[in-house]
Amino acid sequence: MTLSNKTLLDYLNQLLQPQNVRDYCPNGLQVEGKEHVSKIVCGVTASQALIDQAILHKADAIFVHHGFFWKGENDCIQGMKRKRIKALLDNDINLYAYHLPLDIHPQFGNNAQLGKLLSIQDCRVIDPRDKQCVVMRGETQYPTSAEDFTNKVEKLLGRKPLLVDGGGHQIRTIAWCTGGGQGYIEQAAEKNIDAFVSGEISEQTVHTAREMGIHFIAAGHHATERYGAKAIADHLQEQFNCDAEFIDIDNPA
Ligand SMILES: [Zn+2]
């Protein structure tokens, strides 16, 4: 089925509610392309490689978690940014990008989807008072050693995580924030959570884990953020009976 780019925008806005989130980039239709959309490519980042794949697959629209126009970056359209935008405009491809709204969506969000993939039970946000809380918590099915849980993460994400042992205890309660959410480890430790999973790790994360007694698992920014865009692809396909496909561009970070 074919839908208009405007209909797709209205639908995504209604689904992901970007107006409720303070973000570091514009969410929605970042680059306008052709009016009629029947093929949608979904991915993590609007990199040149993803755009090239979208062109190859004759996509009318791209949906991503990491789009363009980040706060603080150079606004001018030059170099790498020009090449990406030129490729979109030359091929009349719409670019839809949803950053934090895709992290926090209770069903299709990166956090919710990662919790589901890891079979975490009773998933909920760690601070229900915070309307844009980006950290979730839940329980593992059984008490598990940090090593066994890390092995499970490796198997499911297809990437070797980095484990910082926070003191030898078993994991029952767990909190997580996909991508670059390592700074939230303290919030999780203060709530006496056994382990915290995020994508990236910083130097100080290791000290926090050791000193606050919480296991930390860095499972990859890209690897932890694949599942929101993938869930959106499946959902759009079902909702509009259009051709929506998730394309994974390998990224070791
Ligand atoms: Zn991210």
Give me ligand 1 centre to Cα 193, in Å.
Answer: 23
Give me ligand 1 centre to Cα 157, in Å.
Answer: 16
Give me ligand 1 centre to Cα 223, in Å.
Answer: 10
Instruction: Report, as an integer, the average pLDDT of 111-131.
Output: 96
Which of 32, 28, 31 minimizes the C-alpha distance to 13?
Answer: 28
Mean pLDDT of the chain: 97
Q: What is the percent of the chain with per-residue pLDDT over 70, rounded to a whole number?
A: 100
pLDDT band at residue 150 using 50, 70 and 90 as cut-offs: very high
- Chain region(s) in the chain for CATH 3.40.1390.30: 3-103, 105-224
What's the pLDDT score for residue 1?
Answer: 86
In contact, 60 and 114? CB cutoff 8 Å: no
Question: What's the fold here for domain 105-224?
Answer: 3.40.1390
- Cα 84 to the center of its chain, rounded Å: 21
- Cα 167 to the center of its chain, rounded Å: 29
CA angle (252 as vertex; 250, 253 as ends), nearest 5: 120
CATH 3.30.1280.10 assigned to 3-103: no
pTM: 0.96
Which protein residues have their CB within 5 A of the ion that is ligand 1? Answer: 179, 225
Give me ligand 1 centre to Cα 66, in Å.
Answer: 6
pLDDT digits (tens, 9 = 90+) for 12-29: 999 999 999 999 999 999
Give me ligand 1 centre to Cα 225, in Å.
Answer: 6
Tell me, what DSSP letter sits at residue 171? E
Instruction: Report, as an integer, the average pLDDT of 220-245.
Output: 97
Give me ligand 1 centre to Cα 1, in Å.
Answer: 31
pLDDT digits (tens, 9 = 90+) for 179-231: 999 999 999 999 999 999 999 999 999 999 999 999 999 999 999 999 999 99
| Residues 119, 113: Cα–Cα separation, whole Å | 10
pLDDT digits (tens, 9 = 90+) for 28-82: 999 999 999 999 999 999 999 999 999 999 999 999 999 999 999 999 999 999 9
Give me ligand 1 centre to Cα 221, in Å.
Answer: 6
Give me ligand 1 centre to Cα 179, in Å.
Answer: 4
